[in-house]
Amino acid sequence: MTTDRGAAFYMADIRNKRPTRRRAVAVGELKAGPVAYPLIVERRLPKGDALVMAEVAGLQGAKMASALMPLCHPLPLELVRVRCEPVPERHAIRVYCECATEARTGVEMEALAGVNAALLTLYDLSKPVEPALGIDAIRLLFKEGGKSGLWLHPDGMTDAEREHYRPRDMARLHDVPCAVITLSDRASRGEYEDRSGPVLVEGLRRLGARVDHVEVLPDGIDPLAEHLRSLAAHGVRICLCTGGTGLGPHDVTPEALRLVADRHVEGLAEMFRSESARHTPLAWLSRAEVVQVGRMLVFALPGSPRAAKQGMDILAPLLAHALAMVDGEAHA
């Protein structure tokens, strides 16, 4: 198959995406009408129990999504749940398909494939008694995971649907004061444009944080250490530093963090290296560091835009909980 982006189609390259927990729920309805509806819910159709068969077909449909849609990535599904809910006021059967896994791409197509397979099976078993059937309102209800977190369909959910599925978003940093510091001699002299800092700023703001402090500093221990103390004194809660974590003679960001640290958070630094190593073995050469300075958490991340983006993706689900632990409001 051609990889030319000008071609008619291509399969999305997801190799550089980080695996995260994914979940999606799709929904649709069979308009059964007054004749077929009671036969379905009373399980009296000539071909057999349509509700049970529809749930089995939904399971199979979700698992076969990549076989039905050529550009859909095959995924090892860890959960598929299909349920059929009678809606007497509309003489309809409302079908839900919930899919979940840990992967680099979402499971919404699997959920939609499951709903369609279940609805078609209901149609097939009901048509001998009522040919005037309809399939309607197939849509994604919500999806979770990935860098976007929770997405809800604009048409919304009923209270019963929300209670049953309990969609979960990653914890937000609502108006939390944050800072981003880029450490680079050349960027501080204006010899090249800083591209890593803006990636981190965008990631924090996407979580709802308030990023009032964005700095580019030259490599060095004392200037960074002094700046971190000042930020902590002014109430900044999270500071993301990018650059200076390598093995070169000017890479001294970890030394600056150790100079001002009240507490070291080794687990987060090791998690960052471990998760980054899924993309490149060079991650083990990073001296990424995480420390606590007063009530402020400081993260030293590598200096490339790609590493900054990966770092933000890795840390985003944990930042709010980490701050809650600092404040004594949560436990590990």
Provide the annotated active-site residues.
Answer: 124
> CB of 259 within 8 A of CB of 293?
no
The single-letter DSSP state of residue 283 is: G
β-partners of residue 216 are 182
Tokens 């059929």: give the residue: 84
Q: What is the identity of the amino acid at 30?
A: L
> CB of 61 within 8 A of CB of 143?
no
As given in the structure block, the two tokens for residue 297 are: 């958490």
Tokens 């800083």: give the residue: 194
Helices 305-315 and 196-206, packing angle to 10 deg: 20
Closest among 200, 205, 207, 204 to 183, alpha carbons compared: 200
Phi-psi region of 243 (alpha: psi -120 to 50; beta: other; left: phi over 0): left
The single-letter DSSP state of residue 201 is: H
| Entry field: residues in the chain | 332
Cα–Cα distance list, 132 to 51, 70, 300 (Å): 19, 32, 64
Euclidean distance between CA atoms 28 and 133, whole angstroms: 14
Q: Where are the beta strands (DSSP E) in the chain?
A: 20-31, 79-87, 92-103, 134-144, 151-152, 177-183, 210-217, 238-242, 263-264, 289-293, 296-301
